[in-house]
């Protein structure tokens, strides 16, 4: 029987961090609560947008029902203004809930019927992508309002009731360029998020000491990624029980501390 003696796997017995280090780490970790007042401030801003929404809604109602002198274009612009407020409010909600969940503390609403679908797997990359998409939506609303106003452009300029210039050719051009920049940024963030979730497959025929130790922790189940597990060899009664036996192809690199025992068949070896 061919045996190769290898030094056993040794574990570090060094002591962990001291009391001062643990105290400093706990203090630094607790500093995340300094962000909580920021999210409370955003909630107040959300309330301001609620008030602004109903003010705009009242102006629309007043112009259409009471005055009765508003055109279809004016109604469309007023509705777009309401949608703009709603989109910004949605952006605030995502920043408040997602940011608090990611950077401050868990929001334990598992099983709640109103739990947002994205909250269960929120992370910084996902939050950035959703914020970018929301910004694009808001920019699209503003751009649509601009396109409606451009319909009454004269000599490349749109003037308000007081004669002040509201839109110009250059202004519209740069609005479109900024909107395209938002789209490109969102695509880049989505690509980065996709790349961060991609993991290279494990190399074929390889296994590690960690996998063997996992097998030991799992009541010494056979562990092998090189070939399907076969019936483990039975250890002698006098042999120690803190090992696992697996069948691997000949020539496979073994982790430190493993022993090679020939099975007599010439196809491979039993690694212990």
pLDDT, tens digit, 9 for 90 and up, residues 229-250: 444 444 444 444 556 676 767 6
C-alpha to C-alpha distances, 150 to 81, 122, 174, 242, nearest whole angstrom:
17, 40, 14, 79
CA atoms lying within 13 Å on the CB side of residue 87: 19
Angstrom distance (rounded) from CA 271 to CA 232? 10
Q: Which residues are CB-contacts of 13 (< 8 A; sequence separation ≥ 6)?
A: none
The C-alpha angle 205, 216, 14, rounded to 5 degrees, equals 100
CA–CA dist 48, 50 (Å, integer) = 5
How far is 8 from 177, CA to CA, in rounded Å?
Answer: 64
Contacts of 199 by beta carbon, 8 Å cutoff, 6+ apart: none
Torsions phi, psi for 216 (to 5 deg): -65, -45
pTM above 0.85, yes or no: no
pLDDT above 70: residue 21: yes
Joined together, the tokens standing for residue 46 give 């959300």
Joined together, the tokens standing for residue 102 give 């990611």
CA 55 distance to own-chain centroid: 36
* 81-103 pLDDT tens trace: 899 899 899 889 888 988 888 88
Q: What is the pLDDT of residue 184?
A: 92
**What is the average pLDDT across 177-198?**
85
Q: How far apart are the first and last CA of the chain?
A: 13
Instruction: Report d(CA 182, CA 60) in Å as an integer.
Output: 30
């Amino acid at each position: 029987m061919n045996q190769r003696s290898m030094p056993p796997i040794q574990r570090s017995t060094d002591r962990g961090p001291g009391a001062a280090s643990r105290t400093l780490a706990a203090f630094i970790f607790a500093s995340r609560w300094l962000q909580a007042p920021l999210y409370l401030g955003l909630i107040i801003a959300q309330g301001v947008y609620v008030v602004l929404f109903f003010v705009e809604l009242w102006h629309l109602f007043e112009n259409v029902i009471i005055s009765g002198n508003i055109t279809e274009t004016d109604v469309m612009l007023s509705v777009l203004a309401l949608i703009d407020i709603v989109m910004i409010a949605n952006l605030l909600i995502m920043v408040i809930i997602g940011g608090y969940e990611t950077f401050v503390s868990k929001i334990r609403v598992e099983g709640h019927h109103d739990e947002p679908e994205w909250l269960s797997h929120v992370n910084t990359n996902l939050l950035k992508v959703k914020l970018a998409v929301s910004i694009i939506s808001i920019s699209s609303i503003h751009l649509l309002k601009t396109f409606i106003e451009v319909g009454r452009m004269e000599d490349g300029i749109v003037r308000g009731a007081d004669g002040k210039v509201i839109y110009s050719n250059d202004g519209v051009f740069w609005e479109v360029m900024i909107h395209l920049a938002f789209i490109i940024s969102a695509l880049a963030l989505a690509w980065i998020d996709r790349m961060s979730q991609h993991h290279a497959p494990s190399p074929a025929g390889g296994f590690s000491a960690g996998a063997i130790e996992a097998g030991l922790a799992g009541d010494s189940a056979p562990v092998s990624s090189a070939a399907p597990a076969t019936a483990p060899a039975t250890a002698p009664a006098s042999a120690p029980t803190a090992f696992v036996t697996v069948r691997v192809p000949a020539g496979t690199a073994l982790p430190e501390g493993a022993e090679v025992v020939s099975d007599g068949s010439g196809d491979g070896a039993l690694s212990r």
